[in-house]
Structure 1
Amino acid sequence: MAIRQKCDKKRKALLDATLTLVNNNGFHAAPMSKIAKMAAVSPATIYIYFENKQDLINQLYLEIKAAFSAYAFKNYNEEESIKDSFRQVWMNIADFKLNQIPESNFLSQIDNAPIIDEESRLKGLKHLQPLLDLWERGQQKGVIKLVSPYLLYAYTIYPLAFLSNMKQKELLILSENNLEDAFEAAWNSIKA
């Protein structure tokens, strides 16, 4: 059991080092040698856990996406009204993006650059299925505009990355009232 735990520690150290280097320097300025050095393992050790750099990035993305989704849907109750259900998910995502900064920054980079492969991107999208289902249910009930889920995401979820960025730069204080206003603006942009 101790051997397995040690292996998990090395894998986690490699994922953490990759997250830090990609966030600070970008994908191309995060060579395997730097990742290994930051994780305090030999470069050859990386290949015990990952096929190559692409596999490492893909697995990091999928783990962060899974954690993001678990966070986004905690206390989610699809029995509530469409707006209340969406509010719960939106507030959870806001909390994640505002407080899980390295992970949020990494996901933003992935959203804006072709870093991961298509198979991993599709697997990552599956984690958001409850939100897509909620929006579809809202559209069927005439509560949400009949537009693409990409537009719904662009107008409701994507602005949270901007708010997080402004908070990080200390240009915006996100009080409870500010977050509530931001949610209402997001909701008003998609409600039918």
Structure 2
Amino acid sequence: MNVQLTSAEKKQAIFESTLRLISDYGFHGTPISQIAQHAGVATGTIYHYFASKDELIVELFRYSKQKIQDATFRDHDASAEYHNRFVTTWINLVKYYVQYPQVLSFFEQFYSSPYVKEIFTDETVCFQDEISLFLKEGIRDGYIKQLDINIISAAFLGTVIATAKRGTSQYFKFSEEDLENMVGIIWDGIKK
């Protein structure tokens, strides 16, 4: 029996296949034909949704960014104490990257590529996203030290990425207590 995928399912299959293949082979080592084969769609189907591989990669960035935002802030209660929201946000992001290491790999490649210029122009600020806005809230409301947002973001995201990478290794797994201890170190370093 031949099951037909809906348009949304095809697009998601293309995105998910692209993530996996780019994680394994990089941007240049992942041709459209390979993505189509992996996604179980015709090459023409990809070109139906995306004018080029470049457009696919830029749209994949937006798709992945939304997934990360949804996962990171899924337990976000704006009325909760800022410290508790900080801990939850940091741990959620680490867990997301551990569960989806291909997304982390994609983001690292994307932010180091010319594609980043497609998203962030002179009018927009690189890394201006929900996490930055959340950290700026902490600075504005006096929970976090009055430091440049790039310093605070680097401390936050750098430790998330390092923790997630270690958490995906076969040699070490972090417990919930380990994650809470690690985010506690970050919080102690940036809290006002």
Same fold (TM over 0.5): yes
Deviations 1:37-92 (A, max 9, x none): 22233322221010100110111111111011011111212222221221121121
Cα 1:20–1:143, aligned 2, differ >3 Å: closer, same or farther?
Answer: same
Number of residue pairs aligned between Structure 1 and Structure 2: 187
Aligned counterparts of 1:25 and 1:95: Cα–Cα separation in 2: 24
Instruction: Please report how far the alpha carbon of residue 96 of structure 1 lies from its aligned counterpart in structure 2 after TM superposition.
Output: 1.0
Q: Comparing both structures, which one devotes a greater share of its residues to helix?
A: 1
Aligned 8 A contact 1:66 1:124 in 2: no
Aligned counterparts of 1:48 and 1:123: Cα–Cα separation in 2: 31
Cα 1:132–1:12, aligned 2, differ >3 Å: closer, same or farther?
Answer: closer
1:15-94 correspondence runs (5 A)? 15-94=15-94
**Could you list the runs of 5+ residues in structure 1 that have no partner in the other structure?**
none
SS at match of 2:6: helix
Paired residue type of 2:101? I
SS at match of 2:113: coil
Larger deviation, residues 61-70 vs 12-21: 12-21
**Could you list the runs of 5+ residues in structure 2 that have no partner in the other structure?**
none
Could you tell me the TM-score, scaled by structure 2's length? 0.85
Cα 1:132–1:41, aligned 2, differ >3 Å: closer, same or farther?
Answer: closer
Aligned counterparts of 1:181 and 1:44: Cα–Cα separation in 2: 50
Paired residue type of 1:162? A
Question: Over aligned residue pairs, what C-alpha RMSD do you find?
Answer: 2.4
Aligned counterparts of 2:183 and 2:147: Cα–Cα separation in 1: 19
Larger deviation, residues 5-14 vs 69-78: 5-14
Paired position in structure 2 for 1:10: 10
Paired residue type of 2:84? D
Q: How many percent of aligned residue pairs carry the same amino acid?
A: 23
Runs (4 or more) in structure 1 with deviation over 4 Å come to 121-126
